A = this chain, B = another copy of it.
Amino acid sequence: MTIYGAIEAGGTKFVCGVGDARGGSLETATIPTRDPDRTFADVAAFFHTAAGHGPIAAIGMGTFGPVELRRADPRYGQILATPKPGWQGTDMLARTRAILNVPLGLDTDVNAAALAEADAAGADVSQLAYVTVGTGIGVGLVSAGQPVHGLGHPEMGHILVRRHPAHEGFAGVCPFHGDCLEGLASGPAIASAWGDAAGFGPDHPCWEVEADYIAQLCMTLFLSLAPERIVLGGGVMQQRQLFRLIRQRTADRLAGYLAGLTSADALTPHIVAPACTEPSGLVGAYLLAERACG
């Protein structure tokens, strides 16, 4: 078995692993995200210990963004403008290469997750969107088996949605746009509009509102990338009743325009929870490592 390294570099924690996408992790570590020096020192310590499992052929990283992914750009691999103290300009590839000089694969955390979910879905799925709804709303896209990036990378958390009547007068929490999708439907937005959602039962009206916003994202996804599968993950999606509400609202919003997506039942195979048993982003990082060897 070829052993790969994986790093899911998130804003609050780095999850590192050695193993591969099919067999899973042999060992993992969760490292709190602090400044780059201290964080990568812990990443280095993990990989030096984990080397006991055998030589690591390559490392894949799915990182928070924005990150430069254009190979021709001199900033390739660097974190771009970010409010996270100390991280702007951090060269994620150089930092990783300093730990272990092996082939490196890089993408966003959500594109890595999308890649893992597309791999899990098999050959019938060529277009896939991975959505995480939590502190922010992130979207990774895979088209014809390839993670999508061009001028930048997908940032669909910031698309415009139509405000739900229950949110009239709520300004939204996005520092850039106020009431974009993330500004109205992220975890902090729910807390800001309704109070602490943790105490809300599944019948609380906040979930109908949340479902309508995520359904608008699903509608836009079906009308653009035409994904066979939209995978919804993240902390907010632990409210499992949301899945049925989102499928129903997506069907309502599409209003029969897309054949086959006309009811909540019809949408059941297309709007799903993650299939990966390890975090999709970590599994995707293993796949990025594999691809870096190819």
Interface residues of A (CB under 8 A from B): 66, 80-81, 125-127, 139, 141, 143-144, 146, 148-156, 158-162, 176-177, 216, 219-228, 253, 255-261, 270
B159 pairs with A224, CB closer than 8 A: yes
A124 (CB) vs chain B CBs: closest residue: B72
Provide the bound-state CA to CA distance between A154 and B160, in Å: 18
- A225 CB, nearest partner CB in chain B, Å: 6
B253 pairs with A160, CB closer than 8 A: yes
Provide the bound-state CA to CA distance between A151 and B260, in Å: 9
Q: List 27 A-B contacts (CB under 8 A).
A: A66-B259, A125-B150, A126-B150, A127-B148, A127-B150, A139-B224, A141-B225, A144-B144, A148-B226, A149-B226, A150-B225, A150-B228, A152-B222, A152-B226, A154-B223, A154-B224, A154-B226, A155-B258, A156-B220, A156-B223, A156-B224, A158-B223, A158-B257, A159-B220, A159-B224, A160-B161, A176-B255
Which residues of chain B are near A219, meaning CB under 8 Å? Answer: 159-160
Which residues of chain B are near A221, meaning CB under 8 Å? Answer: 224
A146 (CB) vs chain B CBs: closest residue: B144
- Check A159/B259 contact, CB under 8 A, given A143-B148, A151-B270: no
- A71 CB, nearest partner CB in chain B, Å: 11
Which residues of chain B are near A149, meaning CB under 8 Å? Answer: 127, 226
Main secondary structure of the interface of A (DSSP, over half): loop
Provide the bound-state CA to CA distance between A177 and B162, in Å: 14
A141 (CB) vs chain B CBs: closest residue: B224
- Check A151/B177 contact, CB under 8 A, given A160-B253, A253-B160: no
Provide the bound-state CA to CA distance between A48 and B224, in Å: 38
Provide the bound-state CA to CA distance between A142 and B143, in Å: 10
Provide the bound-state CA to CA distance between A125 and B151, in Å: 9
Provide the bound-state CA to CA distance between A258 and B80, in Å: 10
- A24 CB, nearest partner CB in chain B, Å: 28
A178 (CB) vs chain B CBs: closest residue: B255
Provide the bound-state CA to CA distance between A160 and B156, in Å: 14
Known: A81-B259, A148-B226, A160-B220. 15 other contacts (CB 8 A): A80-B259, A126-B150, A127-B148, A127-B151, A143-B144, A148-B224, A150-B228, A152-B222, A155-B257, A159-B224, A160-B162, A162-B162, A177-B255, A177-B257, A224-B224
- Check A226/B150 contact, CB under 8 A, given A143-B143, A144-B144, A176-B255: yes
Which residues of chain B are near A125, meaning CB under 8 Å? Answer: 150
- A62 CB, nearest partner CB in chain B, Å: 17
Provide the bound-state CA to CA distance between A1 and B88, in Å: 52
Which residues of chain B are near A152, meaning CB under 8 Å? Answer: 222, 226, 258-259
Provide the bound-state CA to CA distance between A127 and B66, in Å: 18
Which residues of chain B are near A216, meaning CB under 8 Å? Answer: 160
Max chain B C-beta neighbours (<10 A), residue from A80, A151, A152, A154: A151
